[in-house]
Amino acid sequence: MVTSFNVPRLVIAAPSSGSGKTTVATGLMAAFSERGLAVSPHKAGPDYIDPGYHALATGRPGRNLDAFMCGPELVAPLFAHGAAGCDLAVIEGVMGLYDGAAGRGELASTAQVAKLLRAPVVLVVDASSQSRSVAALVHGFASFDPQVRLGGVILNKVGSDRHEVMLREALEEAGMPVLGVLRRAPQVAAPSRHLGLVPVAERRRDAVASVEALAEQVRAGCDLEALMALARTAPPLTCEAWSPEQALLPHPAPSRNRALPGPGPQTPDGLNDAAQRHIPASPAFEARGLGRSSSGGAAPVVAVAGGAAFTFSYAEHAELLTAAGAEVVTFDPLRDERLPDHTTGLVIGGGFPEVYAPELSANEPLRKAVAAFAAAGGPVAAECAGLLYLARSLDGKPMCGVLDADARMSERLTLGYREAVAVSDSVLAPAGTRLRGHEFHRTVIEPGAGAAPAWGFTHPERRVEGFVAGGVHASYLHTHWAAEPSVALRFAEAAAAHR
């Protein structure tokens, strides 16, 4: 049901990456949470790591708002789903304010998210190497798109009292409110490595201390009352809040992402043709009653890899699986020597298995259990880190051996959005299904695709990638199932059938 939805909200943006968005956004979330407010944390774009810090700061799941993967039409509904019942929502931007999907204009930019949410923007500026020029910089960002409402600035990495005075005087001339000033404080910075910040799950005690320090820094340097007043200027949103249960119901129009399968597996030459045709909802999607398996009885158990090595997951995936009738149980491949009892489906998402390759390899009982589950035809969905874990080896260390492939670290960073077509029928999607996703890794696997590839990329380059074999779907591509809920339903159905 379409309703008028109103929650105070702020978008925390910056002129570029590295300006301090995560510092300010996480600090604000923690500071307002400490005041007893229910704060809804969000991240523009596909990043998995920042939402972990947001969750730590607020006690609520960090949620992504990605207009490329999910479409602009889902940004407000997904936001409303996460922010329901909250006193404030803080949305951390991605890259620079106007940076988005390459060659696609504003698509997937922080600016687009701010406009879709009708939210005021706070610009975090790294002021460490400028004084009066800050006014010209901020003026340019404020005037570039009149539909983006820049409500104020937080100055980061300010060097001294005199430096602060010069910056404030310049911005006063430009008519831009200064809502906060943060001094250089390297002691609160979270450590980074080859793919960005170290996830919370790998340094939880230190991460808690970091978030507390960020909250203190923001309390001391920012005008929380003025920021809350700005958040309250956001007008109501008129939309229907997304819900996993409603998303799984059949709709009269097919999803924008799905396409008709051709006869048999799709070939690279047939990718564009497949992408132009649509299929109706699957028979299981039409007929299945939510909340129970199609064969009746207990709910299928879907085991989801977690722990320090597998930290990448979107909250909506587990919600969709649950709505589809599955019981979602988390296990830790670093510690657990067997899969959860009665496992009938296995999801292994992204993370950092390359960091933990020796420990993952040493857990031979679980590696054998995963291999046996896959050999028995059990449905397995593996993304990126999961792909590496299913390989024969990772940096020379034995892994599960489900795939006839070997993985290793690489100096080259593979990063970016992808448009893909399912090449082979799988437990996630029929051949011809179109999805958008992203790659984010510094590893390679050889070969890069199996006899039955998982995906054919149509943009930005044309190539096949990943593996489909039996019940296994393994790929580097990260996807967001809210964009295509039938993926979760199809997987839950496969788990229910594997008993």
Question: Catalytic residues, which ones?
Answer: 384
496: helix, strand or coil = helix
The set of residues, in sequence order, having a beta carbon less than 8 Å from that of 440 and lying 6+ positions away, is: 46, 195, 350, 384, 414, 415, 478
Q: How far is CA 434 from CA 255, 261, 457, in A?
A: 10, 10, 10
Locate 291 and state its tokens.
Answer: 């909340």
Size (the chain), residues: 499
Pairing of the two strands 343-348 and 63-65: unpaired
Tokens of 70: 């999910």
Which of helix, strand or coil describes residue 466? strand
Nearest to 181 by CA among 200, 163, 203, 204: 163
Gap between the Cα atoms of 46 and 50, Å rounded: 10
Alpha helices in 87-199 (DSSP H): 110-117, 133-144, 161-174
**Distance separating alpha carbons of residues 163 and 184, to the nearest angstrom:** 12
For residues 16 and 95, the answer to whether their CB atoms sit within 8 Å is yes
What kind and span of H or E run contains 364? helix 364-375
DSSP state of 236: P
Fill in the DSSP letter of residue 201. G
Cα 248 to chain center, whole Å?
20
Contact 402, 374 (CB under 8 A): yes
Compute the C-alpha angle 429/433/435, nearest 5°.
100
Per-residue tokens: 495: 């788990």
Question: Helix-strand-coil percent breakdown of the chain, rounded to 5?
Answer: 35, 25, 40
> In 3D, which of 431, 427, 453, 248 has the Cα closest to residue 344?
427
As a whole number of angstroms, the distance between CA 351 and CA 330 comes to: 15
CB 317 within 8 A of CB 357: no
Whether 357 contacts 392, CB under 8 Å: no
Please tell me what DSSP assigns to residue 398: E
Contact 423, 456 (CB under 8 A): yes
Are 107 and 436 in contact, with CB atoms under 8 Å apart? no
- Angstrom CA distances, 393 to 267, 358, 367, 390, stand at 28, 11, 11, 8
Across-strand partners of 328? 302
